[in-house]
Amino acid sequence: MTTADGRRRPGATSSRRTTAQRIDELERRNEELLSPSSTEAVDRQHAKGKMTARERVTALMDPGTFVELDALVRHRCHDFGMEERRPPGDGVVTGYGMVDGRQVFVFAQDFTVFGGSLGEMYGHKVVKVMDLALRTGCPVIGINDSGGARIQEGVASLAMYAEMVKRHVEASGVIPQISLMMGPCAGGAVYAPAITEFVVMVNGMSHMFVTGPDVLRTITGQTVDREELGGASGHNTVSGGAHYMAQDEKEAFEYTRALLGHLPSNNMEDPPSYAPTRGRGTDEADLALDSLVPDDPGTPYDMRHAVCGVLDGGELVEVQPLFARNIICGFGRVEGESVGVVANQPMCAAGALDIDASEKAARFIRTCDAFHIPVLTFVDVPGFLPGIDQERAGIIRRGAKLIYAYAEATVPMVTVVTRKAYGGGYGVMGSKHLGTDINLAWPTAEIAVMGGESAVSVLHRGTLRRSADPEAERERLREAYECALCNPYVAAEHGYIDAVIMPRETRFQVASALRMLRTKRVTRLPRKHGNIPL
């Protein structure tokens, strides 16, 4: 009770809380938030060599920059005893902060709370942070460690998975999305990270599968453990479902930071640039390229030496390094500017293109094109890998994805032919005819329908059959064919190769071309979207 002038009457009491009481309540709630809901659960997490959700966010972000959102959200389920336990945060940590000085958004699933299972309010938190990332044009990083849908919340849990996937689709090609798999991810939940640009798994810790081992055994009778079914090794080497396999969580965070260093914050910005680490003069790495290609055309060499000989600091951040090793994909820098590299690898299957290599490169090129990253291609390809297995598995349809990706791309593109560029492999690997801006070739380049041995067998079968000395005649005809057609000068005469250069000049020529192409603009015919063969 108060008087007319607002003063409290003597002896009057009030139920209204004071400012001090409100502050005490906030401190209590914050203390409750930061205190683990189950010490035993945290201990079990650490015993597995795994961090908690907040520890992971702290390890990823620049120190002191993380701002948490919706920390006090609680679930609304009151069935099956859930009303007795309503921890703040509801099992997921969301917010924003800085990575190497650039703003990113993050959500980290907390396995210590309900096994990281996703419920309605949990899902709303993730959707909110993804919407914020889209509105502000910033990358979003998802740290996955979850037992799946929260059974007690029924269809509301399933609905939120669909809401999340819809956001991932809307953000695809607009903002970079990176999924860090730090634990299990099963059932329909795997399709959310599968849509993102990059999936990073931890060896021995991460698992992704649509159907778990127990269900698989019940339905099909097959017995398989979690690691064999959906471990990091399998997804990095066989299925191609992941883009990098880290040995621990620290390495996963380091790789994520390296990726972000080559990507813009969104598709309306350019990738970050840095001061060049190499001068424009010729150095030892340049000179080493002159002796890289062996004299014997059948002898392999490591294409990484050619790639790293051109990039700043010789540094290449590979994407899917363990999958489809006959092709190399990754990010590097030329004169401090980010580039995406696609290169045949003669050390594996002679660099021939197969289904896995085609899809790996196509996806990478489309990622570069979405985020304004120039594509630099190194070619040493004998063609597409022949065989009934490849044909029946769809090499025509799936190999066409690579052709489509190059033809669709509008970013600056530069191609360097180091040795073989035969048949369909020549046309597919960043040829002038698909829209590549600058095409260069080393003197060792062989651009033709096929190699000399094969061509002689096809063109001069009758001559060899009638010859008194078939081997000598074969050698003479092969030399004549290679001299006339297996060289870069015929393609240069047609304008399909812009210049034949010394290998030591590659870095200078590539840098000059990319500098010239920075103002490239392409106008496409109006359409909703293309119809890539899927």
Q: Residue 410's pLDDT is what?
A: 97
157 and 294 both lie in a single domain? no
* Average pLDDT rounded to a whole number, residues 190-208: 95
Beta bridge partners of 414: 376, 438
Residue 273 lies in a domain: no
28: in domain:
no
Lookup result for tokens 């008194």 = 468
- The count of domains in the chain is 2
CA-atom Rg of the chain in angstroms = 29
Q: Is pLDDT at 34 greater than 60 in this prediction? A: no
Report, as an integer, the average pLDDT of 336-341.
98
Which residue's structure tokens are 């940590």? Answer: 93
Q: Are 415 and 436 in contact (CB under 8 A)?
A: yes
Smallest CA-to-CA distance from 200 within 142, 282, 263, 130 is with 142
Q: The whole model's pTM is what?
A: 0.90
Do residue 323 and residue 181 come from a single domain?
no
Tokens of 258: 């390296």
- With a CB cutoff of 8 Å and minimum separation 6, the contacts of 492 are 441, 498, 499, 500
Chosen domain end from 244, 260, 276? 260
Q: Are residues 333 and 233 in the same domain?
A: no
Half-sphere exposure of 174 toward its Cβ, with a 13 Å CA cutoff?
A: 16
pLDDT-derived band of residue 258, with 50, 70 and 90 as boundaries? very high
| CA 358 to chain CA mean position, Å | 15
Instruction: Specify the range with the lowest mean pLDDT, choosing from 13-17, 311-315, 329-333.
Output: 13-17
Taking the C-alpha atoms of residue 171 and residue 163, their distance in angstroms, rounded to an integer, is 13
CA atoms of 62 and 76, how far apart (whole Å): 34
What is d(CA 170, CA 202) in angstroms, rounded to the nearest whole number? 27
79/157 same-domain check: yes
Same domain, 229 and 122: yes
pLDDT digits (tens, 9 = 90+) for 395-440: 999 999 999 999 999 999 999 999 999 989 999 999 999 999 999 9
Q: What is the strand order of the sheet 140-144 is part of?
A: 67-69, 92-99, 102-109, 140-144, 177-181, 198-202, 244-246
Kindly report which listed range (106-110, 158-162, 270-274, 459-463) carries the lowest average pLDDT score: 459-463
- Examine the pLDDT at 8 and tell me if it is beyond 70: no
Residue with tokens 């609680």: 74
In single-letter form, the type of residue at position 265 comes to S
Which of the listed residues 226, 260, 294 is the one where a domain comes to its end?
260
Could you tell me if residue 276 is inside a domain?
no
Range of the domain at 123: 40-260
| 528 within domain boundaries | no
Name which of 327, 322, 362, 365 is nearest 346 in CA terms: 327
Q: What is the pLDDT of residue 37?
A: 54
Among 202, 197, 326, CA closest to 252: 202
Q: Taking residues 47-66, what's their average pLDDT? A: 93
Structure tokens at 47: 């015993």
In this structure, are 140 and 251 located in the same domain?
Answer: yes
Spatial CB neighbours of 283, under 8 Å, sequence gap ≥ 6: none
Structural domain includes residue 341: yes
> Residues 207, 309: one domain?
no
The rounded percent of the chain whose pLDDT value lies above 70 is 93
488-501 pLDDT tens trace: 999 999 999 999 99
pLDDT for residue 54 is more than 60: yes
* Averaged pLDDT for residues 26-55: 77
Closest listed residue to residue 492, CA positions, set 524, 460, 447: 447
365 and 405 Cβ atoms separated by less than 8 Å: yes
CA pair distance 75, 63, nearest whole angstrom: 30
What residues have CB less than 8 Å from 263, skipping those under 6 apart?
A: 139, 176, 271, 338, 371, 373
* pLDDT computed for residue 394 by the predictor: 94
Task: Please check whether residues 180 and 229 belong to one and the same domain.
Answer: yes
Asked whether 65 and 96 are in contact (CB, 8 A), the reply is no
DSSP for 450-491 reads S-HHHHHHHHSHHHHHH-SSHHHHHHHHHHHHHHHTSSHHHH
Residue 210, pLDDT > 70, answer: yes
Judgement on whether residues 58 and 171 belong to the same structural domain of the protein: yes
Give backbone dihedrals phi and psi of 409, rounded to 5 degrees, phi first: -65, 140
The b-or-e profile of 482-500 (16+ CB within 10 A means b, else e) is beebbbbeebbeeebbbeb
- For residue 180, give the nearest of 197, 165, 157 by alpha carbon: 197
Q: How many whole angstroms separate alpha carbon 172 and alpha carbon 186? A: 22
- Last residue of some domain: 260, 295, 327? 260
More confident residue, 485 or 106: 106
Cα separation, 468 vs 429, in Å, equals 41
**Residues 191 and 296 both lie in one domain:** no
Residue 27 lies in a domain: no
> Tell me, what CATH number does 307's domain have?
3.90.226.10
Which of the four pLDDT bands, split at 50, 70 and 90, describes residue 460?
A: confident
Contacts of residue 219, defined as CB under 8 A and 6 or more positions apart, other chains included, come to 211
Residues 6+ away with beta carbon under 8 Å from 501:
440, 441, 442, 509
